[in-house]
Amino acid sequence: MTEAIDPGLPIRPADQPARLDALEAAVRDRTNLRPVVGLVLGSGLGGLAADVEDAVAIPFDDLPGWPAATAPGHAGRLLLGRLAGVPVVALQGRFHVYEGNDPGLVVQPVLLFRRLGAGIVVLTNAAGGVNPDYRPGTLMLIDDHLNLTGRTPLLGGNADAIGPRFQDLVDAWSPRLRERLRSAADGEGVTLEEGVYAGLLGPQFETPAEVRMLRALGADAVGMSTVLECIAARWAGLEVCGVSLITNAGAGYTGQPLTHEEVLASGAEAGPRLARVIRRFVSGLGEAAT
């Protein structure tokens, strides 16, 4: 429906309010649902979308300024509906910088979540295991991140109406929500490890030397998303939590090449386990809200 979009054009913080006005209006043309929580469903977690009841599904390219998602394994739809009875907005797929998207576009979904009324965002992703104990299939609660993309969504004139110029990132990964995710995992009998997510630009996987460097820097998992979304979500005042699904051992640990197919296959196995945890977590938020 939309005219051709160049997703690489710089979007500064100061440009976001007008863009969010248009996005919010496009969503409100279709539904009045006010989500409590926003979910970003990464590779392997798209299945959770099927659990969203009475969903209004909006393809990315029906939203003003959004290109269609292109990464394999990413459907590219915004869903508004109920999960375990709780109003949610879910992003099935996401924008990555490695696709040529400007950081300001990559973070628009979480900024839109905030506009639509959500106070909490859950970020999920597929990641490589940098901690050698984190084998494929491990679920890792993110307790902090390393932004090694060299990019930020907060570059350029600020939008004080959304958030401050100098955003604090201490406890960016909410201790309160981490505790709730741990209880949800306990309740489901699912093991959750915990650690630091290193976000790199990609799209190439790391060299073995880079994985050793990441370990030395304190990373437990590595991926190509999530950190910019966390930064923007904190800027906009959202509480943030997230889980990495470890789909493969970090480059060099097994002597085998890494493939995207391996990443998708592990996601298919562990995704439903993570989906159970998130569903229980969301259901608990509904109880807290009543």
Q: Which is nearer to ligand HPA, 162 or 222 (CB)?
A: 222
Nearest to 181 by CA among 143, 128, 144: 143
Residue nearest to ligand HPA (CB): 128
Footprint on this chain of ligand HPA (rule: CB under 6 A): 126-128, 205-206, 222-224, 247-248, 250, 258, 263
Q: Are 228 and 108 in contact (CB under 8 A)?
A: no
Segments in 41-140 forming alpha helices (H) = 103-106, 108-116
- Longest CA–CA separation in the chain, Å: 52
Q: Are 57 and 74 in contact (CB under 8 A)?
A: no
Task: Output the six-digit token pair for 143.
Answer: 């307790």
Q: Which is nearer to ligand HPA, 65 or 223 (CB)?
A: 223
Residues 6 or more apart in contact with residue 230 via CB below 8 angstroms: 123, 145, 172, 173, 240, 242
- Cα–Cα distance, 160 to 116 (Å, whole number): 19
Q: Which is nearer to ligand HPA, 113 or 205 (CB)?
A: 205
Output the smallest distance, CB 260 to ligand HPA, in A: 8
231: how many CB neighbours lie within 10 A of its CB? 25
Output the smallest distance, CB 208 to ligand HPA, in A: 11
Residues annotated as catalytic (active site), given as ranges: 43, 74, 96, 98-99, 126, 224-225, 248, 260
Output the smallest distance, CB 267 to ligand HPA, in A: 9
Q: Which is nearer to ligand HPA, 36 or 127 (CB)?
A: 127
Q: Are 140 and 195 in contact (CB under 8 A)?
A: yes
The amino acid present at 205, given as its one-letter code, is F
